[in-house]
Amino acid sequence: NAGVTQTPKFRVLKTGQSMTLLCAQDMNHEYMYWYRQDPGMGLRLIHYSVGEGTTAKGEVPDGYNVSRLKKQNFLLGLESAAPSQTSVYFCASSLVSNQPQHFGDGTRLSIL
């Protein structure tokens, strides 16, 4: 049971570099989410998708872009990384809205 898989697990970037985080789910879920987790702030929603080909902004979307070209994949991009984007990023998916979300194990990203 793979569930939700995030790659990579760790990454260190220099300010201004770009990168893409990949999230893949094998549960045929419609909804997918990207969160960031920072100490004392819980999880904050960056972007989400309610189905293949759709994306929407969450609470903290600035500096990030996303794409959902295939139902099972949800990509999070940082075009020009900034130190404020140092965080742990979690991907999640759910069958439909208001249903429990299934989480990946996270990507720890450091921006120097």
Partner 1 sequence: AQSVTQPDIHITVSEGASLELRCNYSYGATPYLFWYVQSPGQGLQLLLKYFSGDTLVQGIKGFEAEFKRSQSSFNLRKPSVHWSDAAEYFCAVAINTDKLIFGTGTRLQVFP
Min dist. Cβ of residue 100 to partner 1 (A): 5
Stretch that binds partner 1, among 11-19, 20-28, 65-73, 100-108 (CB under 8 A): 100-108
The Cα 90–Cα 94 span in angstroms is 14
| Residue in the structure block whose two tokens are 């999880």 | 43
> How many other CB atoms are found less than 10 A from the CB of residue 105?
13
Under rule CB under 8 A, which residues in 28-67 are in contact with partner 1?
Answer: 31, 33, 40-43, 45, 48, 50, 56, 58
Sign of the Cα torsion 56, 44, 66, 51 reads: negative
| Binding residues vs partner 1 (CB under 8 A) | 4, 31, 33, 40-43, 45, 48, 50, 56, 58, 90, 92, 97-98, 100-106
